[in-house]
Structures are given as C-alpha cells and as structure tokens.
A = this chain, B = another copy of it.
Amino acid sequence: MSSVRPLAEIRTEIDQIDAEILQLINRRALCAEEVAKTKIAEGEQGTFYRPDREALVLRRIKELNQGPLPDHTAMRFFRELMSACLALEKPLEVAFLGPEGTFSQQAVFKHFGSSVNTLPVAAIGDVFNAVELGKCHFGVVPVENSTEGVINHTLDRFLTSPLKICGEVEIRVHQNLMGHAESLAGITEIFSHQQSLAQCRKWLDTHLPQVKITAVSSNAEAARMASLNKQTAAIAGLAAAEVYQLPVLETNIEDQANNTTRFIVIGKQDSSPTGKDKTSLVFSTGNQPGALYRALESFAKFGIGMVNIESRPSRQGLWEYVFFIDIDGHSEDPQVAEALDLLKANVNMLKLLGSYPKAVL
C-alpha cells in the first residue's frame, strides 16, 4: 500500500490554499466594484447584472474545469461568487410567485445565486407588475409546468407587457405519496390532480395496481381529502404534506427522472449574444389556411431550430389565435435576423419577447 501524508501536513496545505482562495475572491470583488464604477462613468447604471456576461463566465468555467470537482459544482461556486460580488454594489431585487420555499424561489436562487433579495408575490401578474413598476429589477415566472397549467397566465401577460425575457431556469419537480396509512398495503384509494396522476402512472401500476385512483381539482385538495381518512393517500408536493401534517410514505415517485418546470427571468434590459442563445416570440397569423405553415417556413428556410410552440386563443379581440415560439439563436445573429424579417412579412402581428442565454446550470 502506498504511503500517505500525515493529516496535519495535508491540513496545513489546505489552510494555505484557503487563504489564497480568500484573497482571490476578494480581489475578484474589487474588480467587480471597478466594473460598477466604469459602468456609472459610462452612464450605464441600470445594467449591473448582465445575464449574457454571467452565462459566458459559467461556460468558460465548465470548459476550463479539469476536476476533481464536477463541472456542476464548480459552476455553482462561481454562480454564488458572481452573486456576492454583484450584491456588494447593489443587491438585486427579484420578484417571484410566492410563497418562500417554493420551486419559484428555488429558481431565483439557481439563476441569481443566493445574494439577492427576493420578493414573494401572490400571482404571476404581480411579478410582472413589480418589475414594470420598478419595485424589483427582475422577476421569475414559471412558463411550463405540467401539473399546474400556469403557463397560460404567463404567456397571456406577455401580450400586453413591455418586459423582456432575459434568462431561463429549469428546476426538477418531484411527486410524493402521503397519507396516514401504516404501509402501502393499507391504502384503498389515492387522490391527486389528473396530471400528477399521469406523471406517476408507472409507479402506481407497479406498487399499487389494485388501488382506486380518483382525480381531484388540485394536489392540495387531494392532500386535504387524504388527511380525513386513514385508508386514503394523496400524490402531491411536500408543502401540502406539511400543512396537512401527512406522513410522507414515498418520495420522488414520478416516472420521468427529468420531470422539470421551466421558469423565465423577466426584466427591462436586453441580453447580448453569447453564442448559445434562445429567442422567444409571439405572433398571430390570421385565419387563412396554411398561414402557420407559411410562418414557420421562415425558420426552416434559414435553418433555425424551433424549440417550442404553443398556440393560445387571443383575448385581445384582434386575432383569433396567437402562437408562442422559442427558437435557437439570438435575434442579433444574422440568420435569425433574416428569418425574423421574413416572418414579419408573413404574419399580422409579431412581438419579440427577448433573446437570452440558454440555461447554463
């Protein structure tokens, strides 16, 4: 067996490394202060936080990292460091769909690091209001959430809001079985929202094939019902278990390990191209047959990938349907700019919601 260094010696080395790291992170903070001064001298007060610059820093860390720390860990470290440096100048205020402890707040910290002030508000519209009125620098709102359907609120609000999308965040979402039964064998009925039930179908087929499944209006309602009868259980988030004091019987029972909710960051500023960007837009085609097909041709012609499409009935009375689309690339990329020009000629209404770096962490 190879010889090992004594503990005391290794710890002395660690202490030296720590002192160096400490000096460097403070030197970095001084540089960040200098950046702020330069920006003020150049009349750029409003743009201390640059999502594009931060995305580039994190991607560079990923490229440079040789381990043993995993890329993800190294990037998280720098995410926090940038957050702390920024907070020295002016802590960012970020509004989110409250309460605290929700996935939305988790998304705020994942994107901005933990050195920000968060403002929980009661509804998605209030997140937009807080940023529009200048109460907060940024807002974070869910845009795709298979269990709660909040996507529509967010999309609809964009039709009338002057705000831009300046970033995206993805958060893993878990489903859990909760109830007062002593064991799975003691359960005769399970309540949940139908979309949560769908997400756990395989698990239910495997572990509780004989049990009656009842869809109810929400996961919180499911938890309430399960709290009334020991032989029933609910599939819901863990906050519901806390409020109804329901023991959690199984955690993470969703079938897809990549069951995620996507959030977007909204603000007033544009984000510069980083080389790996997305652009979100909304347009209306009118009702001629083939109109959507022709609109999408603009992207195909310039070889631009489409990540997402969502159609929504318009509430503006001017168009019957609007389409929300995410495409690959930044609106300043030449190919994208040309495709957007072509698209504009083929639609009744086109609104760019923003170009922003793809989620890094």
- Specify the main secondary structure of chain A where it touches its partner: helix
Contact mask for chain A residues 91-113; partner B; CB cutoff 8 A; 1 contact, 0 none: 00000001111100000000000
User: Which A residues from 115 to 169 make CB contacts under 8 A with B?
Assistant: 115, 120-123
Q: How far is the CB of A271 from chain B (nearest CB, A)?
A: 16
Q: How far is the CB of A15 from chain B (nearest CB, A)?
A: 7
* A46 in the interface (beta carbon within 8 A): no
Known interface pairs A7-B35, A239-B243; A73-B67 also in contact (CB < 8 Å): no
Chain B, residue nearest A3 (CB): B41
Q: How far is the CB of A56 from chain B (nearest CB, A)?
A: 9
Whether B37 contacts A28 by the Cβ 8 Å rule is: no
* Complex Cα spacing A220 to B100, Å: 16
* Complex Cα spacing A12 to B334, Å: 27
Question: Which residue of the partner chain, among B38, B76, B220, B247, contacts A80 with CB atoms under 8 Å?
Answer: B76
* A223 in the interface (beta carbon within 8 A): yes
Q: How far is the CB of A50 from chain B (nearest CB, A)?
A: 10
Q: How far is the CB of A257 from chain B (nearest CB, A)?
A: 15
* A207 in the interface (beta carbon within 8 A): no
Whether B22 contacts A61 by the Cβ 8 Å rule is: yes
Residues of A within 8 A of B (CB-CB), count: 81
Other than the known A98-B248, A122-B248, what 20 A-B pairs have Cβ atoms closer than 8 Å?
A: A4-B41, A5-B34, A10-B34, A11-B35, A14-B31, A15-B57, A17-B24, A21-B81, A76-B80, A77-B77, A77-B81, A98-B241, A100-B174, A102-B242, A120-B251, A122-B247, A239-B239, A240-B243, A242-B243, A243-B243
Contacts A/B (CB < 8 Å), 9 sampled: A7-B38, A10-B34, A11-B53, A18-B28, A69-B85, A73-B87, A101-B101, A120-B251, A220-B244
Q: A residues bordering B, Cβ < 8 Å?
A: 1, 4-7, 10-11, 13-15, 17-22, 24-35, 37-39, 41-42, 53, 57, 60-61, 64-69, 73-74, 76-78, 80-81, 84-85, 87-88, 98-102, 114-115, 120-123, 174, 176, 220, 223, 237-245, 247-248, 251
